[in-house]
Amino acid sequence: MASLPRDLAQLQEEMEGHARAYGLDFFPVIFEILDYRMLNQVAAYGGFPTRYPHWRHGMEYEYLSKSYSYGLSKIYEMVINNDPCYAYLLECNARVDQKLVMGHVYAHCDFFKNNLSFARTNRKMMDDMANHATRIRRHMDRHGVETVENFVDRALSLENLIDPHAPFIVRDRGESAEEAPRPVAYRLKSKSYMNDFINPPHLIEAQQRRLEEEAATRKKRFPAAPARDILMFLIEHAPIENWQRDVLSIVRDEAYYFAPQAQTKIMNEGWATYWHSKIMTEKALTDSELIDYADHHSGTLGGRGRINPYKLGVELYRDIEDRWNRGRFGKEYEDCDDLSVRARWDRGLGLGREKIFEVRRVCTDVTFIDDYLTEEFCHRQKLFLYDYNPKTGMYQISDRDFGKIKQRMLAQLTNQGQPIIQVVDGNHRNRGEILLRHQFDGIELRHDYARETLRNLQAVWGRPVSIHTVVDDKGRLITFDGEDFEEKDSADKVA
């Protein structure tokens, strides 16, 4: 990797000054300039210069390289949540593109530093990724490339089985067995001479035995409470070798590092787009660069047949800013057609600007959409739902109802669109089996995905694995014992 040439170093200083003047706050940013081959290589590694060896990185590199060669896609920028932040520039980009990318990067870095979802992320992940690669290679040297890579395959298939909220939760582990009070049977109030009639001794004794048996059962429950972080459960309890435990911990660490980025994709890209467009149009853009900038910026915001996080994010930030400004200035602001006057009002009181900084700090995509997506915004942006029509063999607009649009968006964003799975029993049927529970929210599990997940979990655990879910509005228990799958209806409610 080469350091920036003098002209780009001066451009970086200029763009950083503009970003800070607007109130953006970020870690130091180190830019590297790469050719398209090196940029594709870094992108295949998730933005890191070094990762552990695995076939999926090579597959991703081939995909990116062919997409670039055939003119289907082009990577303009990448930035890493780290302290300092690392960002990459494509060496063949025009100067106007480098300006745009730098403005975009500084806004991303501001988001990484200030959004609460990233508050518990590892800010030295650049170093840790290199350490992970060294550890995986060491395991390959000792146990064989194919053996380790096969286990990494299994671990990666389970990487979404974490609890993205876990870093922010202080869990009450409860009292110890010695400190826990002994359960006492409930007695009705009565006169002393009526006590044997109102609280018969044989019933009180039976109730006492039942309470103590239930307390003993809870004490023996494993895990004590449903565990959503299944990777951690496997690390702590699976009968595997130490090198396999280390691989699981590496996959888990990286899954938690990337989780906030998946939780804030719309917000993050919208924030970066908002600021690069403001910096470019108000500060950095020259007359000769206007057409190229407009062309590339419009390409970023173009429709793609599905949610474009750049477009949806930036428009929603602008809508929030506008609504909060209108709330302060009232009808006079709303009726004003002079953009320069409105801009002066915005700079003077900045109520809308303060609001979007607040939103940037406290929201995730779910709360961003849930709290601030309005019916008026939805109609103005011409949002709609589309579904496959088997009669025509085509995807067609199926609905424009605001409630349904918002509901589907939230369903796609909640838990990154993944089902919520928990371990509810690590000694199911007293045979050392795992029982999982699917937290059913109206969307059934994909059958093929569920089976492959059970297959990989069973390979790690070494004993049969079952999951309690819902199929066609009925309870369903799916089990894999290492050889065969068994499915049966289940009326049991998993506690």
Of 147 and 296, more confident: 147
Q: What is the pLDDT of residues 434-493, one digit of tens each?
A: 999 999 988 889 999 999 999 999 999 999 999 999 998 899 999 999 999 999 988 764
The answer to whether the CB of 390 falls within 8 A of the CB of 404 is no
Q: What is the pLDDT of residues 338-394, one digit of tens each?
A: 777 666 655 555 688 999 999 999 999 999 999 999 999 999 999 998 888 888 889
- What is the average per-residue pLDDT within 186-213? 68
Asked whether residue 21 carries a pLDDT value surpassing 90, the answer given is yes
Asked whether residue 128 carries a pLDDT value surpassing 50, the answer given is yes
Give the orientation angle of helix 242-263 with respect to helix 145-157, to 10 degrees: 40
Q: How confident is the model at residue 182 (pLDDT cuts 50, 70, 90)?
A: low
Q: How confident is the model at residue 301 (pLDDT cuts 50, 70, 90)?
A: confident
CB within 8 Å of 403: residues ≥ 6 apart: none
Asked whether residue 176 carries a pLDDT value surpassing 50, the answer given is no
Q: How confident is the model at residue 331 (pLDDT cuts 50, 70, 90)?
A: low
Task: State residue 191's pLDDT score.
Answer: 62
The answer to whether the CB of 8 falls within 8 A of the CB of 98 is yes
The secondary structure of residue 2, as a DSSP letter, is: B
Lowest mean per-residue pLDDT among 124-138, 272-286, 386-400: 386-400
Q: What is the pLDDT of residues 224-242, one digit of tens each?
A: 889 999 999 999 999 999 9
Domain spans of the chain, in order of start: 125-166+227-262, 301-415, 419-489
Q: How confident is the model at residue 82 (pLDDT cuts 50, 70, 90)?
A: very high
**What amino acid is encoded at 405 in this protein?**
I
- What is the average per-residue pLDDT within 47-64? 92
Rounded to whole angstroms, the Cα distance separating 415 from 144 reads 36
Q: Cα 313 to chain center, whole Å?
A: 16
Q: What is the pLDDT of residues 404-424, one digit of tens each?
A: 999 999 998 988 888 999 999
Written as one string, the DSSP assignment of 414-465 is: GGGGPPPEEEEEEEETTTTEEEEEE--SS-PPPHHHHHHHHHHHHHHHSS-E
The pTM for the full model equals 0.84
The answer to whether the CB of 215 falls within 8 A of the CB of 189 is no
Q: What is the pLDDT of residues 238-280, one digit of tens each?
A: 999 999 999 999 999 999 999 999 999 999 999 999 999 999 9
Rounded to whole angstroms, the Cα distance separating 435 from 457 reads 11
Q: Which residue has the tokens 């309690």?
A: 468
Asked whether residue 189 carries a pLDDT value surpassing 90, the answer given is no
Average pLDDT, the chain: 87
Alpha-helical (H) ranges within 199-264 are 201-220, 230-237, 242-263
Asked whether residue 305 carries a pLDDT value surpassing 80, the answer given is no
Alpha carbon distances (Å) from 170 to 173, 179, 260, 279: 9, 21, 18, 40
